Amino acid sequence: MFTELNSILNSTPDSFTRKEFVLLSDRQSDASFLIHHFLSFYLRARCKVCFLGLVQSFSHYSAISQRLGVSLTQAKEKGQLIFLEGLKESLSILIPQEGNAESQAVDFLRDPTVGLRCLYEFVQSSLSSSGGGEDGTEEWGPPVLLVDDISVLLSLGVNAGAVLDFSHYCRATVCSQLQGNMVMLVRCDGEEEGDDGDDEGPELLLKGLTHQCSLTLHVQGLPTGYCRDIHGQVEVCWRRRQGDGQHTQKKLFQYKVHDKGASFFARGTSSAVL
Amino acid sequence: MAAPVDSVGKPTAERSPFNSTSFQKKTRSKLISIPGTRPSVQNGQLLVSTGVTSLDYLLGGGLAVGTVLLIEEDRYDSYSRMILKYFLAEGVVCRHELFVAAAQDNPDDILQELPAPILDDVAIHKPVDQPRLSCEPQDSLDAMKIAWRYQNLPKVQSALASTSRFGHYYDVSKTMEPEIRQAAKCHRFYLPEHPTQTSSYSALLKSLQEVIHREGFDVPRSRNILRVGLHSLGSALWGDDLSCHDNPRHSHALTTFLYGLRALLRSSLSVAVVTVPSHLIQDRALMGSITRLCDNAIALESFKGSERETNPLYKDYHGLLHVHQVPHLNCLANQLPDHKDLAFKLKRKQFTIEGFWFECSHVGATKNKHSSAMSAKEDNGPSPSPLID
């Protein structure tokens, strides 16, 4: 959990906005450090977390969360964290073997044109079952869905429209129905405009998700080039849905990632410069 | 430090604590030591050498076990193939197991072209030499007069000494001797031998998984590393139309394979080097997703056949090297190299990668008709040319 980011977003583990869909995006950069922030934030806030870790192994997230002060193994044992390790589950479908039970959640790998219905059902079943009823299980806070990262589904052959449907269904269930939060990471490449007419793909996904979300954090490299002390800039954009129509509020920060966290500062106030 | 005479004969435990230190080295290390690997200083991950020492430095000390290195091929696939051969040769010298897959050339041909390692001492497997040396008379010319305590030690360094080093040097003008090469276990996958109805990538993935499982690399107590070399994935010979069409029909075949490869590598003690002819792939977004699915990514751009070959500025180098991605596994921050402009040169005994920048020429040296690279050499010493015209 990065304390400076908490003060920027005006949220603490004790009080944060509910029914929020946070979109993390990056362009030619790496925004995955923000996913670790939100994971440790919501675990500290005693929320029930469903994490779709599609691109890295469990030990990677566990090692980093350890440095941020949260133990993923303990959270999994207590039932607070439901972790889908995409890499491990996918092998059972990509290399089918007799006698090996195939994972249901990543069933879309067998035929990507079918869509992400099975993945949605996995999310729904893991977050809908609240742990208050059984003996010995603790009562957790609002449910949270974290996805790292959703654009890898495009690389696995799923249509951008199907991914948008999936995120819409998840938002309806998690944010509206269960009054929880959702955080998704989407990664882009290349220039913003000037595509060769290829609308199917990451750009379409990014535009669609930006329209659905309520808060975006867009990570980019510095416009002046590579710098060792300032790793890039983050643009935070609130899209408030007040009664009298939407108004957006934007703020721009620069950041530097350390071993145990990240520091955010206003443009030009990096400690390397001052 | 002179020990007192009466305590020399006593065992260590009986010495009084005031005369000797109670320091005892703790050898309770949790890391199993596999030859040819070392832990990273940044995050404790297990690293192997790529065979090219300067590339190891660029990647943060070496290639982390469980990761993939993507090499975007140069136009004629000469230097990327060379790096692949360095990688496999390093595996032979460190006694790792190899898995080579290719669609165009037979993997046996690739294995026969491996460069010869430059070892300081006798080559690894020549046990016949040992008895000959030991029956030499002790009072030969080699009788030591000063360091006589070392007389009885074997004259030849054991083979383990050379394999415990991290990173070796190779002579590209010679090929590796067959005895050394055959000592290493190599698994091959030559695509024409596997006619399949399904995609060739899934056959390759299945074959790789079988090897990993059969040789036991996915067991937690595995004691060796598997080096996987995949040549020219994405080319048309793999049954892929990525490099032929602007809008390929099955654009996700290669990316799904890379996803499965990452899953296999993360759950076993293996490391992979994949070369892709990226200059044939037109779709930049697809190249971006291929890069993101690999952990390390470098691109080679050779000067052969371009006008830069005769440009005096580039005369010391064979091409440019771009680092597109460096992983940050198990930690938040990653270490990009300081220089973003890198150039490489393949010399007979070394593949060097250096930061590259344009040298400003001396004021007086412009009068010289020699190339400006000459002035770069004169920069380091006192310039003989006059500074004032």
Query: Hey, are the CB atoms on B267 and A60 less than 8 Å from each other?
Result: no
Strands B97-102 and B186-190: parallel
Residue B104 domain flag? yes
Q: Are B242 and B248 in contact (CB under 8 A)?
A: yes
Which residue from B minimizes the CA distance to A54? Answer: B259
Residue B145 domain flag? no
Q: What is the CATH number of the domain that holds B223?
A: 3.40.50.300
- Tokens 């940044």 belong to B42
Question: Into how many domains does chain A fold?
Answer: 1
**How close B249 gets to chain A, by Cα (Å)?**
11
Helix segments in chain B, DSSP class H? 53-58, 79-93, 107-112, 129-134, 159-163, 178-183, 200-215, 253-266, 284-293, 372-378
The helix (H) or strand (E) run that includes residue A93 is helix A86-94
Residue B374 domain flag? no
Q: What angle do CA B239, B244, B250 make, to 5 degrees?
A: 55
- Rounded Cα distance between A85 and A52, Å, is 7
Write out residues in chain A with pLDDT < 50, as ranges. 131-136
Amino acid identity at A190: G
User: Is B340 part of the contact surface with chain A (CB cutoff 8 Å)?
Assistant: yes
Domain hosting B264: range is 46-118+165-303
- Rounded Cα distance between B187 and B224, Å, is 15
Which residues from A are below 8 Å from B205, CB to CB?
94-95
**How close A90 gets to chain B, by Cα (Å)?**
7
Which residue from A minimizes the CA distance to B339? Answer: A226
Query: Hey, are the CB atoms on A94 and B267 less than 8 Å from each other?
Result: no
Query: Hey, are the CB atoms on A87 and B202 less than 8 Å from each other?
Result: no
CB contacts < 8 A, A to B, total 95
Which residues from B are below 8 Å from A110, CB to CB?
none
**CA-to-CA separations, B125 to A248, A249, B52, B97, B171, in angstroms, rounded:** 71, 70, 23, 16, 19
Give residues with Cβ within 8 angstroms of B53, minimum separation 6.
B167, B169, B350
- Rounded Cα distance between B279 and B75, Å, is 7
User: Is A114 part of the contact surface with chain B (CB cutoff 8 Å)?
Assistant: no
* Chain A interface disruption, residue of B332, B338, B342, most A CBs within 10 A: B332
Choose among A63, A112, A260: nearest Cβ to B330. A63
- Rounded Cα distance between B184 and B204, Å, is 21
Query: Hey, are the CB atoms on A88 and B263 less than 8 Å from each other?
Result: yes
Residue A34 domain flag? yes
User: Is B28 part of the contact surface with chain A (CB cutoff 8 Å)?
Assistant: no
Question: Into how many domains does chain B fold?
Answer: 1
Q: What is the CATH number of the domain that holds A147?
A: 3.40.50.300
What is the per-residue pLDDT for B360? Answer: 67
Which residue from A minimizes the CA distance to B335? Answer: A228
Q: How far is CA B117 from the centre of its chain?
A: 13
Amino acid identity at A150: I
- Rounded Cα distance between B108 and B105, Å, is 8
Please, what's the b/e burial string for A166-181 (b: 16 or more CB within 10 A of its CB; e: otherwise)?
bbebbbebbbeebebb
Residue B379 domain flag? no
The one-character DSSP state at B113 is T
Which residue from B minimizes the CA distance to A68? Answer: B332
Domain hosting A184: range is 3-93+101-131+138-219
DSSP class per residue in A157-213: T--HHHHHHHHHHHIIIIIIIS--EEEEEEEE-S-SS---S--TTHHHHHHHHHHH-
Q: Are B212 and B226 in contact (CB under 8 A)?
A: yes
| Structure-token pair, residue B53 | 């020492």
Residue A244 domain flag? no
| Structure-token pair, residue B254 | 């290669």
Q: Are B322 and B344 in contact (CB under 8 A)?
A: no
Residue A202 domain flag? yes
User: Is B355 part of the contact surface with chain A (CB cutoff 8 Å)?
Assistant: no
Residue B8 domain flag? no
Give residues with Cβ within 8 angstroms of B134, minimum separation 6.
B154
What is the per-residue pLDDT for B132? Answer: 43
Total residues found in chain A within this entry: 274
Beta strands in A54-180 (DSSP E): 81-85, 143-148
B189-193 contacts, C-beta under 8 A, 24 or more apart: B189/B99, B189/B100, B189/B101, B189/B102, B189/B107, B190/B101, B190/B102, B190/B103, B190/B106, B190/B107, B191/B101, B191/B102, B191/B103, B191/B237, B191/B238, B192/B103
What is the per-residue pLDDT for B158? Answer: 45
Of the candidates B329, B237, B306, which has an alpha carbon nearest to the alpha carbon of residue B276?
B237
Query: Hey, are the CB atoms on A257 and B333 less than 8 Å from each other?
Result: yes
What is the per-residue pLDDT for B22? Answer: 65
Choose among A90, A155, A257: nearest Cβ to B293. A155
| Structure-token pair, residue B378 | 């004169």
Which residues from A are below 8 Å from B332, CB to CB?
33, 36, 64, 67, 257-262
Choose among A87, A189, A228: nearest Cβ to B284. A189
Residue A146 domain flag? yes
- Rounded Cα distance between B322 and B130, Å, is 47
User: Is B144 part of the contact surface with chain A (CB cutoff 8 Å)?
Assistant: no
Residue B134 domain flag? no
Residue A111 domain flag? yes
Choose among A60, A112, A257: nearest Cβ to B329. A60
**How close B292 gets to chain A, by Cα (Å)?**
9
Residue A47 domain flag? yes
Residue B367 domain flag? no
Choose among B209, B284, B330: nearest Cβ to A95. B209
Residue A211 domain flag? yes
Q: How far is CA B270 from the centre of its chain?
A: 14
Q: Dump pLDDT digits (tens) for A91-114.
A: 988 888 776 677 788 888 888 888
* Chain B interface disruption, residue of A55, A59, A95, most B CBs within 10 A: A95
Q: What angle do CA A230, A233, A237 make, to 5 degrees?
A: 155
Query: Hey, are the CB atoms on B288 and A152 less than 8 Å from each other?
Result: no
Choose among B263, B329, B332: nearest Cβ to A87. B263
pLDDT tens digit at each of 389 positions of chain B? 454 444 344 444 444 445 556 665 555 555 567 888 888 887 778 999 999 999 998 888 899 999 999 999 999 999 999 999 999 999 999 999 999 999 999 999 999 999 999 876 434 444 444 444 444 444 455 677 887 777 776 655 444 444 567 888 999 999 998 888 888 899 999 999 888 777 899 999 999 999 999 999 988 888 899 999 999 999 888 888 787 777 777 778 999 999 999 999 999 999 999 999 999 888 888 898 999 999 999 999 999 888 888 888 888 899 999 988 888 888 887 777 777 788 999 999 999 998 877 766 654 444 444 444 444 444 444 444 444 44
